[in-house]
Amino acid sequence: MTTASDMTEARAFAAVLEMANGFWVSQIVRTAADLNIAEHLHDGPVSSADIAAAEDADPAATYRLMRACVSLGLLAYEGDRFAGTPLLSALHKDSPLSVKSYALAQTAPGHWLTWGRTTDAVRKGHSQAREALGGTIFEYFQDHPQEGALFSAAMTNLSAPVIAEAVEVLDLAGVRSVVDVGGADGAFVHALMERHPHLSGTVLELPHAVPGAGAAAKRRGLEGRLSAVAGDFLAAVPAGDLYLLKYIIHDLDDASAVRVLRNCREAMSAGGRVVVVDMIIDEQDSGPGPLMDIAMLTMLSSLERTARQFDALFDGAGLRRVRTTSLQVPYGLMELQAR
């Protein structure tokens, strides 16, 4: 006779087994993105043989991949062809909420090899990127610009829902110039410029990311109002009225975070503001924040922070938090002014 205890143990076995096999799913999703399956199925069902031919892939292996995608809920069988499900749309490059670049970047060597050393990161208390890649992830991207550009596009994917919310709540009265600090392709400042035609914008990025920011501005018809500048935000930032730090502070240790915040304070115009968009977690958080926190430890020796930890950084940079607006959990938009 099966007891309640047996069923609990069986459920635990199945759940943890699924967690352990999570990397299978990551690489299946990556391969589906790499073979452009969402784009091929956009107009209706297609056979695996047709996709294999279009992508120069092995026909039998392509069928097996697509069958696995059915198991994940990305595809469905339609006779002897495959059709996309609503989930698959998120892997289409042109979806407004696409995660295609993110899926590719997270499973590319820079992240994949470093994540393989997570145990060492926890034992030693700092990232193992140097051991895995020969340098920090951003140094690696300098030497591998194609993967660096993919990462910038991935950050645009990840940011899209949060940017849409942030643009709605930011009051830009009196602001003429906006600096997107470490802004990747510039999605945040571009969205603000589209909503507020009087704004001029600057994206400050590492050299490998500057072309992507310029190209994105041109695609959106903003090239006449936007400058993409190569630089190091730990050294200096351009002058401006409003500084955007989206997903930047969580990349940095405390000393580096204070430095970039202080650079913004020193460069901003009288009455200027700094806007920090990041996760705000609790000490006993059980949501997605602690997972991202381990990502920060593993990749960058950094962390996700509580409101109190953020305030300590702001104080150290001569700034004070004057307003916090909740975005989709667990993200918040923190507006700062000089003390």
pLDDT in tens, 232-271: 999 999 999 999 999 999 999 999 999 999 999 999 999 9
Q: Cβ distance 296 to 250 under 8 Å?
A: yes
Longest dimension (CA), the chain: 76
pLDDT in tens, 52-67: 999 999 999 999 999 9
Average of per-residue pLDDT values in the chain: 96
> In whole angstroms, what is the distance from residue 147 CA to residue 110 CA?
8
Nearest to 223 by CA among 182, 193, 248: 193
CATH-assigned architecture of domain 4-95? Orthogonal Bundle (1.10)
The DSSP annotation for 154-206 comes to: HHHHHHHHHHHHHHHH---TT--EEEEET-TTTHHHHHHHHH-TT-EEEEEE-
Four-way CATH pick for 158-282+300-338: 3.30.365.10, 1.20.140.10, 3.40.50.150, 3.40.630.30: 3.40.50.150
Percent of the chain with pLDDT over 90: 94
Residue in this structure with the two tokens 């000393």, named with its chain if needed: 255
User: Omega of the bond prior to 161 within 30 degrees of 0, cis?
Assistant: no
Residue 311, C-beta contacts closer than 8 angstroms, at least 6 positions apart: 321
Residue 319, C-beta contacts closer than 8 angstroms, at least 6 positions apart: 261, 265, 274, 336, 337, 338, 339
Whole-number pLDDT of residue 5 = 78
Both structure tokens of 321 = 């938090």
Q: Cβ distance 157 to 102 under 8 Å?
A: yes
pLDDT in tens, 75-118: 999 999 999 999 999 999 999 999 999 999 999 999 999 999 99
pLDDT in tens, 207-236: 988 999 999 999 999 999 999 999 999 999
Whole-number pLDDT of residue 1 = 65
Whether 196 has a pLDDT exceeding 90, the answer reads yes
The two counts, helices (H) then strands (E), for the chain are 16, 9
Whether 4 has a pLDDT exceeding 80, the answer reads no
Residue intervals in the chain for CATH 3.40.50.150: 158-282+300-338
Nearest to 129 by CA among 143, 146, 145, 112: 112
Residue in this structure with the two tokens 């190209």, named with its chain if needed: 215
Both structure tokens of 234 = 């730990």
Q: Cβ distance 333 to 310 under 8 Å?
A: no
pLDDT in tens, 264-283: 999 999 999 999 999 999 99
Q: How does residue 6 score in pLDDT terms, banded at 50, 70 and 90?
A: confident
Q: Cβ distance 148 to 209 under 8 Å?
A: yes
Residue 200, C-beta contacts closer than 8 angstroms, at least 6 positions apart: 176, 177, 178, 193, 225, 226, 227
pLDDT in tens, 33-48: 999 999 999 999 999 9
CA distances from 129 to 216, 218, 300, 304 (A): 29, 34, 7, 18
Whole-number pLDDT of residue 274 = 98
Both structure tokens of 59 = 């026909």
> In whole angstroms, what is the distance from residue 58 CA to residue 121 CA?
38
Residue intervals in the chain for CATH 1.10.10.10: 4-95
pLDDT in tens, 114-171: 999 999 999 999 999 999 999 999 999 999 999 999 999 999 899 999 999 999 999 9
> In whole angstroms, what is the distance from residue 258 CA to residue 309 CA?
12
What is the β-pairing status of strands 200-205 and 226-230?
parallel
